[in-house]
Amino acid sequence: MLLVKYEEKVVMKKVKGVGLGLRREMLPELENIPEAVDFWEVAPENWIPFGGKYPAQLKRFTDSCPFVTHGLSLSIGSPEKLDVNFVKQVKTFLDTHGIETYSEHLSYCSGKGHMYDLMPIPFTEEAVRHVADRVVQVQDIIGRQLVLENVSYYAAPGQEMNELDFTLAVLEKADCKLLLDVNNIYVNSINHGYEALEFLKALPSKRIEYGHIAGHYNEEEDLIVDTHGADVIEPVWQLLESAYEIHGVFPTLLERDFNIPPLEELLKEVEKIREIQARYDSCQQTRIA
């Protein structure tokens, strides 16, 4: 990867292909790093506190493979002050492992204390300004553009804007990048009754850094819980195809956070992403020709 100097707006060399989330419990299966995975993703919070063998094992990976990070506790929408010391720890982690991409959730998880869940930011103009100011502060500290993920949510307190307009406004005002989570669009479209394809079409292609795809749990016919604990279902695969057709093929990572099957099972879904990417890459090249 090329070094990015955020203040000079230098464009970094992006990860390519298909990615997979790396969790510590997967390490015993990964003595030999599988060539089927083009890049990996880690949550900095799951590694920063540890000494001993875990940092050494991770460094072996990051020295050998491209990585991105997907944080859990930045709490970009929190009403409390930004945890600057934590952001500085993240910067050190990124620099130590040569990782350029730091993504987080467009939500918050702390107020007077840590809530250990992703809470919806009110969809208001005031919240847009608040979040954008905090994003700029983070970007100044880490020396990189922050990448924000469109998140699943189950209620919209104090709503003055719809989810799409809020998301677009934050991306534009903060001048940050987008982690396009296809499953979250599908989940929200069912839970909140909007058209997933129209939401997808309205997202800015130029801001997409990479994508996520995952499984979920059907609580009720009109209530889906975003669990990352099951196989990807066919409508979500179809939405990924639509995303590539609309925005072009972008790096895409399979998320699996629990009920994690053996690696060979995960790699089947990784290969399905690759097959879809190859098909749409071929279509785009044919159009250009």
Whether the pTM exceeds 0.75: the reply is yes
Residue 134 near residue 76, CB atoms below 8 Å? yes
The distance from CA 249 to its chain's CA centroid, rounded to whole angstroms, is 16
Q: Which residues contact 37 (CB under 8 A, 6 or more apart)?
A: 18, 19, 20, 65, 267, 270
The parent domain of residue 108 ranges over 6-288
* 87 lies in some domain: yes
Supply 82's token pair.
């930004």
The domain that contains 153 carries what CATH number?
A: 3.20.20.150
* 1 lies in some domain: no
Give pairs for 213-220: CB < 8 Å, separation 24+.
213/181, 213/182, 213/183, 213/237, 213/240, 213/252, 213/253, 213/254, 213/255, 213/273, 214/181, 214/183, 214/254, 214/255, 214/256, 215/183, 215/256, 216/183, 216/186, 216/187
Q: What is the count of structural domains for the chain?
A: 1
E strand or H helix that includes residue 42: strand 39-42
Residue 100 near residue 67, CB atoms below 8 Å? no
The rounded distance, in Å, linking the Cα atoms of 69 and 67 is 7
pLDDT, residue 14, reads 67
* 218 lies in some domain: yes
173-200 per-position pLDDT tens digit: 999 999 999 999 999 999 999 999 999 9
The owner of tokens 């350029």 is 100
Q: Which whole number is the average pLDDT over 68-87?
A: 94
126-182 per-position pLDDT tens digit: 999 999 999 999 999 999 999 999 998 887 778 899 999 999 999 999 999 999 999
A 10 A CB-CB count for 271 gives 12
Q: If you write DSSP's letter for every residue of 25-85 in order, what string do you get?
A: GGGGG-SS--TT-SEEEE-GGGTTT--THHHHHHHHHHHHS-EEEE-SS--TT-SSPP-HH
* 166 lies in some domain: yes
pLDDT, residue 275, reads 97
* 103 lies in some domain: yes
The rounded distance, in Å, linking the Cα atoms of 157 and 192 is 13
